[in-house]
């Protein structure tokens, strides 16, 4: 059984009285351990699809199952708890809190667990170790480079050890070198730590690292055989 199962997912936004279709009957299966790349032109609905997977938005029609959870039918409250336990989210603009240190930013998701302060410290330092930023724990975001900020954000996404990582254009704001480091890191998380990853990108180099790439166009899926299969 696939880890993620999207069935006929449709999403329309209402602006004034007009309905804007964003996703139209999308069905995807993502097996456990896959590194899926999502490509498509700007405005094709990639972020919307990722948000639906993350449970931070709801489909207008259709169903979404992740593991044994039918997320599309959870209450708002239950969904927040489910996100905290199951999903690590990586944003294009990192979304680190400027007034918190790297350590504190990574610690945020652990505040929703019952872990003690020392246990939290262990988890945070492990996560910072994986992204190779242990020595930056006391730095504030403005004291870090873009690439380092994104790695802190990745540490934050993995600190609760979720099975699913969702990344929305994680290299969209980075220079080529930093982007390369971030992509290598994601690849390692997939291979070594067995994380299932869905990554939205418009960068073909980024997509190359994925094990499978899907293309979205105007809200519908166009499956293509990737020209080059990474790994």
Ligand X SMILES: Nc1ncnc2c1ncn2[C@@H]1O[C@H](COP(=O)(O)OP(=O)(O)O)[C@@H](O)[C@H]1O
Query: Of 83, 136, 195, 209, which one interacts with another protein (CB under 8 A)?
Result: 83
Q: Give the nearer residue to ligand X in terms of CB position, either 48 or 101.
A: 48
Cα dist from 76 to 24, 57, 65, whole Å: 24, 10, 16
* CA dist., res. 224 & res. 127, Å (int): 35
> Cβ 20 to ligand X, closest distance in Å?
5
> Cβ 216 to ligand X, closest distance in Å?
7
**Residue 59: exposure state from Cβ atoms within 10 A (0-12, 13-18, ≥19):** buried
Query: Of 77, 114, 142, 176, which one interacts with another protein (CB under 8 A)?
Result: 77
Residue 20 found at the interface with ligand X (CB under 6 A): yes
> Cβ 22 to ligand X, closest distance in Å?
4
Residue 80 found at the interface with another protein (CB under 8 A): yes
Residue 47 found at the interface with Mg ion (CB under 5 A): yes
Contact call for residues 216 and 45 (beta carbons, < 8 A) = yes
* CA dist., res. 148 & res. 134, Å (int): 11
* CA dist., res. 139 & res. 153, Å (int): 13
Stretch near Mg ion under the rule CB under 5 A, chosen from 45-53, 112-120, 156-164, 189-197:
45-53
Query: Pairing mode, if any, of strands 61-66 and 4-15?
Result: antiparallel
Q: Give the nearer residue to another protein in terms of CB position, either 102 or 213.
A: 102
- For residue 96, which of 166, 144, 153, 167 has the smallest C-alpha distance? 153
3-state secondary structure 139-156: CCHHHCCHHHHHHHHHHH
Stretch near another protein under the rule CB under 8 A, chosen from 38-46, 86-94, 128-136, 178-186:
86-94
Q: Which two tokens stand for residue 18?
A: 């007009």
Residue 132 found at the interface with another protein (CB under 8 A): no
> Cβ 42 to ligand X, closest distance in Å?
4
Q: Give the nearer residue to ligand X in terms of CB position, either 45 or 230.
A: 45
In this structure, how many other beta carbons lie within 10 angstroms of the beta carbon of residue 217? 12
Residue 99 found at the interface with another protein (CB under 8 A): yes
Overall residue count recorded for the chain in this entry: 231
Residues 134-163 that bind another protein (CB under 8 A): 156
Residue 72 found at the interface with another protein (CB under 8 A): no
Residue 222 found at the interface with ligand X (CB under 6 A): no
Q: Give the nearer residue to ligand X in terms of CB position, either 44 or 178.
A: 44
């Amino acid at each position: 059984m696939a880890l993620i199962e999207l069935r006929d997912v449709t999403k329309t936004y209402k602006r004034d009285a007009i309905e804007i279709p964003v996703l139209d009957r999308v069905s995807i299966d993502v097996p456990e351990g896959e590194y899926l790349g999502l490509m498509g032109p700007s405005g094709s609905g990639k972020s919307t699809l990722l948000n639906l997977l993350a449970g931070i938005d709801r489909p207008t029609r259709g169903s979404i199952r992740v593991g044994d959870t039918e997320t599309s039918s959870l209450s708002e409250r239950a969904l927040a708890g489910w996100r905290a336990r199951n999903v690590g989210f990586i944003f294009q603009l990192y979304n680190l809190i400027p007034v918190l240190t790297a350590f504190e930013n990574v610690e945020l998701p652990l505040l929703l667990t019952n872990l003690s302060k020392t246990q939290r410290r262990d988890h945070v330092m492990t996560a910072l170790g994986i992204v190779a930023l242990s020595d930056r724990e006391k730095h504030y975001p403005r004291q870090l480079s873009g690439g380092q900020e994104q790695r802190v954000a990745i540490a934050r996404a993995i600190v609760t050890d979720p099975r699913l990582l969702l990344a929305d254009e994680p290299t969209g704001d980075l220079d080529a070198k930093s982007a390369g480091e971030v992509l290598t890191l994601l690849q390692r998380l997939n291979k070594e730590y067995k994380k299932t990853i869905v990554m939205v990108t418009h960068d073909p180099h980024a997509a190359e690292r994925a094990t499978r790439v899907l293309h979205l166009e105007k809200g519908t899926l166009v499956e293509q055989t990737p020209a080059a299969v990474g790994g």
